[in-house]
Structure 1
Amino acid sequence: MQPRLPKKPPILRLPPKSNIDLMISKAAELAAIAVGIVAVVFALDAAEFVLAPVTTAIVIGLMLGPVATRLERHGVPATVSAGAVVILFLVILAVAATALAAPLGTWMNRAPQIWQELQIHLSQLREPLGTLQDIRDQLRTAVGDGGVTVSVDESSTVESVATLAPAIIGQVLLFLASLYFFVATRYQTRHSILQVCVSRKLRWRVAHIFRDVERSVSRYLLSISIINVGLGFAVSIAMLAIGMPSPALWGALAGLLNFVVYLGPAVMAVILFAVGLTQFDTLGGSLLPPLVYLAINLVEAQFVTPHVIGRAMTMNPFVVILSIAFWIWIWGPLGGFIAIPVLLVLYSVAANIIPGIPWMPEEHTATLRRVDLRNIRR
C-alpha cells in the first residue's frame, strides 16, 4: 500500500489590481524617488565643506592619474608617484599665480576708475532707467510702503577674513590630503570594491565602470586643459594685436573660464566688453575685444575641440547646461569646474548599468571597449 502524499496547499490568487491601485503604487514610487533626490541635494549643500574639496581632489586625481601610472611603470612606488602628482599640481598653480599676480593687481587697483568710466559710458541709459524708477515709485505709492528697514552689517573686512581663513585653510589641506591618498591608493580601492562584488557578472560591470570613468574623465580633462592653454595664447595674441592692455591676463582668464562650457565664454565676453568701454572711445571699438574673443572661441568650440577629443565625447548640450547650473547652485564656481567630469561619471555608470540605451555615441563606447583591463585587475 503506497503512502498517501500530503495535499498541496491551495493556491491563493489575488484579484488583479485596478487602474487606481496601479496609479497609487506608481505615485508612491515616484514620491519616494523625489524625496530621495531632495535629500541628496540637501546633503550635498550641507556637506559642502567636506564634499567639495574631496570631489575636486578626485577629479584632479583622475586627470593626473596617467602621470602617476607612467611613473609607476618605471618602478616608482605609488606613494612617491602620488607625491609627485601633488607637487606637479602645486607647481602649475604657483606658475599661474605668479604670471597673473602683477597684471591682476594692477587691474584691481584700477577698479574704481574703471567703474567711474563705465558710469560715464552708460549714462545714456539713465533716461530709461529713470522711467523705470518712476514706475516703481508709482507702484509703491499705489500699493503702500510697508516701511521696511534694512540693516547693514558694519563688520570690518579684517573680521570677515579672520573668520573665513580657518575654513579656507582647512578645505585646502583636505583637498591636498584627498588628492594624495586618492592617487596613492587608487588601485587598492578599486581592488577592494571589486572583491565585494559577489557575482562574476557584477564584478565585470563594476570593472568596466572604473575603466570607463578613468578613461573618459582623464581624457576629457587633459585634452580640454591643452586646448584651453592654446586658447589662452591665441586670445593673448589677438588682444595684443587690437591694442588691449595686459593681453596675457585676458588670455589666462579666457583659458580658465573656458573650463566652464557655455557660461565661461559668456562671462569672458562681458568682461572684455566692460574693459573695452574704458579703453576705446566708440561703441564699435568697445565691441571689438568681445567679438574677437568670440570668434576665436567659435573656432575652438566648433573645429579644434571636436577634432582633438572627437565627436564621441559630445554630450547633450541641454544636459550639460543643467549639470553646470545645478553644481554652480550647490557649490558655486567650484561646482562649475566639476560639473562636466561628474556628468561623464554618471554617463559611464549609466552606460554600463543599462547598456541598451545609447547614453554615449557608439564611437566612444567602441573606443572604451578596446581598452585592456589589466590595470583594473591590479
Structure 2
Amino acid sequence: MRVEQSERIERRLEPASLDRARRTHEPTLEYQRNRLLAGLCLMAGIGLLLGVPFALRAGAEFFLPVTAAMVIAIALVPLLEWLERRRVPSGIAAFLCLFLFLVIANAALASIVVPATEWFRALPERIPQIQANLAPVIDFYSNLQKFVDDTVQMLAKGPVAAAQASAIAAPSSIMDYVSSAPHAAIQLFFGMLVVYFFLSGWTRLRERTITSRGSFGGALATARVIQNVVDSTSAYLGTITVINAILGALVATALWLMGMPSPLMWGGIVALLNYVPYIGPILAAILLALGGLMTFADVWVALTPAAIQIGLHLVEANAVTPAVLGRRLTINPLLILLSLSFWAWVWGTPGALLAVPLLIIIQTIAQAAGKPDIAGFLFEEGTLVAPGHEPDEGDD
C-alpha cells in the first residue's frame, strides 16, 4: 500500500521536476547558441577584414576613383545644400559644385606640375652644385661621397638626361597630362560622373534612406548618422584645406622674399603634402632642402627654406589646427598612423591622401552603430559595444 502511494506521489512530482529542469537547462542552451552565433559572426567579420584589403588593392582601377569621388562628393554636400536652399535645381547645383571643384583643383595642380617639370629637367645640371654645397658634410663620409659620384654618373647617362635633351614642351595644365594617359582620363571622367550623380540625387537618396526605416527611432538614428558623416567630413576637409592654403601661402611668401624661383610651386607642394599626416611635411622639407641646394651657393642659406617650412608646420600642427578643429574632430594619432599605412599600402599616394577622411567616416559610423567587443566576447558575454552604453557595476 505504501509502495503504491509512493509511486503515485512520484508520478505527480515528475512533471514539475522535469519542468524545473527544463527551465534551468533552457538558458544554458540559449546562452550557448548565442555564443556560437556571436563566434560565427566574429569569424566572418575577421575574414571579411582580411579579404577586403586585397580586393580593394586588386580592384584599385574601380574602387579608387569611386572612393575618392564619394569623399569629394560628401565634402561638397554643404555647398550643394546651400545652393538648394536658394532654390537652385539639384542638377544645376551639382554641376556648379563639380565645376567649382575642378577649376580650383586644376589651377592648384597646374601651378605645381608645370614648374616642377622644369625643376626636374634642371636636376642633372644642378647636381654638381648640390654636391659642392654638401661638400663640408660629405667630407666626413667618404662612402657617401662615392655614392653621390656614382649617382651623378648614373643620372648623366640615364633616362633623366635623355629627358632633359628631349625637346618636349612643358604641359600647361593637368589636362595635358591626362590627355597623354587615356587610362587616367577614363578614371577621371568616371570619378566626375560619380560626383555629379551622387550630388544630383543626394536629397532624394537621403530622404529614401531615412523614410525606409521601420521605426521612428531607426529613422532618427539614420538621419543623425548621415548628418554626422557629412558634417565631420566636410568640416575636416574644409578646415584643413584653408589651413593648408594659408600655410602654403606663408611658405611661398617667405621663399619669394628669399629670391627662390617658383615660390608658388613650393607653396603648393607644401599645401598638398600637408594633407598627408606626419609623412607629408617631412617629404616637403626634403624637397625644399633639395630645391634650396639647387638654387643657393651657401649650404646654410640653401637649407633655410626647409627650416622655414618645418617651423611653420610645427606652429600649425601644435597650435593652429588643434585650436581650429577642437575636440570634436580629434583623432587618435595611432589610428591615423594605421589608417595612413593601410590606405597607402592599398592605393599608394592617393590612398595616403584619402586616409584621414576615410578614417573620419568609418569612425563616425562605428560610434553610432557600435563596435565589435572582442575582449567582451572572449571574457564575458558581450559582442557589440553600443554607443553611449556603460555597463553597470552589478553587471556580470
Asked if Structure 1 and Structure 2 have the same fold, meaning a TM-score greater than 0.5 normalized by the shorter chain, the answer is yes
Query: For the residues of structure 1 that align with 2:234 and 2:295, how far apart are their CA atoms?
Result: 40
Query: For the residues of structure 2 that align with 1:131 and 1:24, how far apart are their CA atoms?
Result: 64
**Counterpart secondary structure, 1:304:** helix
Q: Report the counterpart of residue 182 of structure 1 in structure 2.
A: 198
CA positional deviation for 1:192: 2.2
CA positional deviation for 1:329: 0.9
Q: Report the counterpart of residue 357 of structure 2 in structure 1.
A: 341
Over 3 Å counting, the alpha-carbon distance change for 1:45 and 1:196 in structure 2 is farther
Correspondence 1:232 to 2:248: yes
Which of 76, 100, 112 is the aligned partner of 1:64? 76
Correspondence 1:45 to 2:57: yes
Over 3 Å counting, the alpha-carbon distance change for 1:248 and 1:15 in structure 2 is closer
Q: Report the counterpart of residue 271 of structure 1 in structure 2.
A: 287
Correspondence 1:78 to 2:110: no
Q: CA RMSD in A?
A: 3.4
Q: Deviations over 1:269-311 (max 9, x none)?
A: 1111122222334443333221111111111122222232223
Over 3 Å counting, the alpha-carbon distance change for 1:129 and 1:230 in structure 2 is closer
Q: For 1:230-269, what aligned pairs fall within 5 Å after superposition?
A: 230-269=246-285
Q: For 1:191-340, what aligned pairs fall within 5 Å after superposition?
A: 191-340=207-356
Q: Report the counterpart of residue 387 of structure 2 in structure 1.
A: 355
Aligned length, in residue pairs? 323
Q: Report the counterpart of residue 170 of structure 1 in structure 2.
A: 186
Query: For the residues of structure 2 that align with 1:112 and 1:206, how far apart are their CA atoms?
Result: 57
**Contact 1:63–1:222 (Cα < 8 Å) also in 2:** yes
Over 3 Å counting, the alpha-carbon distance change for 1:247 and 1:50 in structure 2 is same
Query: For the residues of structure 2 that align with 1:23 and 1:16, how far apart are their CA atoms?
Result: 10
Paired amino acid for 2:329: M
Q: Deviations over 1:48-94 (max 9, x none)?
A: 11111111111111222222212111111000100111111121123
Query: For the residues of structure 1 that align with 2:66 and 2:240, how far apart are their CA atoms?
Result: 21
CA positional deviation for 1:242: 2.9
Task: Indicate the percent of aligned positions where both proteins have the same amino acid.
Answer: 32
CA positional deviation for 1:245: 2.1
Which of 138, 142, 148 is the aligned partner of 1:127? 142
CA positional deviation for 1:191: 2.0
Give structure 1 stretches of 5+ with no counterpart: 1-6, 133-156, 359-378
**Contact 1:351–1:357 (Cα < 8 Å) also in 2:** no
Query: For the residues of structure 1 that align with 2:331 and 2:27, how far apart are their CA atoms?
Result: 46
Q: Report the counterpart of residue 33 of structure 1 in structure 2.
A: 45
Query: For the residues of structure 1 that align with 2:349 and 2:246, how far apart are their CA atoms?
Result: 22
**Contact 2:112–2:266 (Cα < 8 Å) also in 1:** no
Name which of structure 1's ranges 176-185 and 87-96 shifts more when overlaid on structure 2.
87-96
**Counterpart secondary structure, 2:181:** helix
Structure of higher CA gyration radius: 2
Q: Normalization by structure 1: what TM-score?
A: 0.76
Query: For the residues of structure 1 that align with 2:254 and 2:64, how far apart are their CA atoms?
Result: 36
CA positional deviation for 1:114: 3.5
Paired amino acid for 1:34: I
Query: For the residues of structure 2 that align with 1:67 and 1:195, how far apart are their CA atoms?
Result: 24
Q: Normalization by structure 2: what TM-score?
A: 0.72
CA positional deviation for 1:265: 0.5
CA positional deviation for 1:15: 11
Give structure 2 stretches of 5+ with no counterpart: 1-14, 148-162, 164-176, 370-385, 391-396
Query: For the residues of structure 2 that align with 1:235 and 1:292, how far apart are their CA atoms?
Result: 7
Name which of structure 1's ranges 91-100 and 313-322 shifts more when overlaid on structure 2.
91-100
**Contact 2:72–2:195 (Cα < 8 Å) also in 1:** yes
Paired amino acid for 2:81: T
